[in-house]
Structure 1
Amino acid sequence: MTVLASLVAGVVFGLALAAPPGPMNAVIAEESVLRGWSAGVRAGLGAATADAVFFVLALVGAVGFLNRAPLVKGAMVGVGGLLMLYYAYGAAREVGGSFLDADTDLAADESAGFRKALALALANPYQVLFWLTVGVGLLEPGRIDVFAAADVAELAGTLVVETGSPALVVGFFGGIGLWVTGFPGALVAARSRVEALAPAVAALSALLLAGFGVVFLADAAGTLVPVAEAALAGRIG
């Protein structure tokens, strides 16, 4: 059950991050509308490739260091929680927006959808910051009781997510994969209908990202509070 919960949580998280209207989805959408489904998917894979690059870098470097520095890890996961809340705020601001209204000159290039999206993602400071903060929280082995963290005691223990598990990571990239293949297809099939869903997608993403932000902040508090209490006790002693 925990493996399934982690897999589903990863899919939901990946979708929540990939779905809100913004520059990356503008590139995907314009490629899809102008040049078809395969062009839109290639643009989406460019963004996903950047995530894979950052994932490997976080896996081989950041996690090993942070395992030896719990105070730094707790602080970074806390920053990740705040970043999730910031993403949620950004998604909430897009309620009423469009998948095609982001201003980007890169979408005018007919021949390099994959390279455009990859370059845009690699140069995106928010994406780098995500993998140095939230990404570390995803890769660090542990367990998050989602309902307990949300202070819903009667449901505590019913939805436990294993961070650092292959299921969570596979689910996360699976969620991104679902979006970068399904979104172009939906746009090509029924552009006007998908555009009408943009506000609902933004609102749902805002709620999901805010929830993940609260969970990450609770995890950071669980790491930082004992360290602070121990440091305070040492000074008093």
Structure 2
Amino acid sequence: MVTTVLTPLVGAVFGIALAAPPGPMNAIIAEESVLRGWTAGFKAGLGAMLADLVFFVGTLAGVVAIIDQYPIVRPALYLVGGVLMVYFAVGAFRDARSATGFVEDAGEPSRGFRKAFALSLTNPYQIGFWLTVGVGLLRPGTLDVFAHVPGIGSMLAGALVVQTGSVGLLVGFFVGIVCWIVSYPAALVSIGRRVDAFAPTVSLLSGVVLVAFGAIFLAAGAGAIV
């Protein structure tokens, strides 16, 4: 029996699992949150989520799958994404030097939305998600969530079966992303208001993360082309 009631909840877990791991997008959200407030961090999160919506529509239309048909596309995305990450890292390091503490309104426009959106669109990992797991979520069928749990899967098989390709699962997926981009900046802002050194430290760490991923992307792109 399909447990349709929990299908949106499972979708939300998928959404949080995609949004929560440390990476370039969360680095940008963190920097925007501690330097310019919750609204700036949330907008940066919206930029990343908008890219997922673009990939979602592209997957439905079959456009995203075309990327795999042209071997040069992924290396090019690695190179473009790597350059953008290093460029944004320079800004993060600059902010880390100039920041003295958390400022609710920094008095300057936030570029977090555009930065996160641009990075997400050139992120081969994100595209890879929609070419694999994303396609599975969209295809009509069922997923036995506990059936493949090592050791106890046979006992739990059938306990939680959700519908893939269902509206509930997809809505839950994006609700999960929204929950993350609302709560993550809020938690950072809460700490930033109490600890003055938090803002410059987070900016510095954001720059380090962006440089690290930028180097990985540039190396992967160059290695694939050579």
Q: If the length of structure 2 is used for normalisation, what is the TM-score?
A: 0.63
The CA deviation string for residues 98-147 of structure 1, in whole angstroms up to 9 with x for no partner, is xxxxx833545953110010001001011111111111001000101122
In the alignment, is the contact (CA less than 8 A) between 1:27 and 1:106 conserved in 2? no
1:24 aligned partner: 25
1:169 aligned partner: 170
Question: In 2, Cα distance between the equivalents of 1:11 and 1:112?
Answer: 27
2:14 aligned partner: 13
User: Residue type of the partner of 1:128?
Assistant: I
Q: Does the residue aligned with 2:159 lie in a helix, a strand or coil?
A: coil
Query: What displacement does 1:47 show?
Result: 0.2
2:133 aligned partner: 134
Aligned length: 158
Cα gap change, 1:32 to 1:140, in 2 (>3 Å): same
The 5 Å alignment of 1:215-230 reads: none
In the alignment, is the contact (CA less than 8 A) between 1:10 and 1:172 conserved in 2? yes
Query: What displacement does 1:61 show?
Result: 1.7
Q: Does the residue aligned with 1:104 lie in a helix, a strand or coil?
A: helix
In the alignment, is the contact (CA less than 8 A) between 1:29 and 1:187 conserved in 2? yes
In the alignment, is the contact (CA less than 8 A) between 1:10 and 1:169 conserved in 2? yes
Identity of aligned residues (%): 59
**Larger helix proportion, structure 1 or 2?**
1
Query: What displacement does 1:40 show?
Result: 0.1
Question: In 1, Cα distance between the equivalents of 2:173 and 2:110?
Answer: 29
1:149 aligned partner: 148
Query: What displacement does 1:4 show?
Result: 2.2
The 5 Å alignment of 1:78-97 reads: none
Q: If the length of structure 1 is used for normalisation, what is the TM-score?
A: 0.60
1:210 aligned partner: none
Query: What displacement does 1:149 show?
Result: 2.8
Question: In 2, Cα distance between the equivalents of 1:106 and 1:46?
Answer: 18
What are structure 2's unaligned runs of at least 5 residues?
67-87, 96-107, 199-226
1:54 aligned partner: 55
Q: Does the residue aligned with 1:172 lie in a helix, a strand or coil?
A: helix
What is the root-mean-square deviation of aligned Cα atoms in Å?
2.7
Question: In 2, Cα distance between the equivalents of 1:36 and 1:64?
Answer: 38
Q: Does the residue aligned with 2:142 lie in a helix, a strand or coil?
A: strand
The CA deviation string for residues 203-225 of structure 1, in whole angstroms up to 9 with x for no partner, is xxxxxxxxxxxxxxxxxxxxxxx
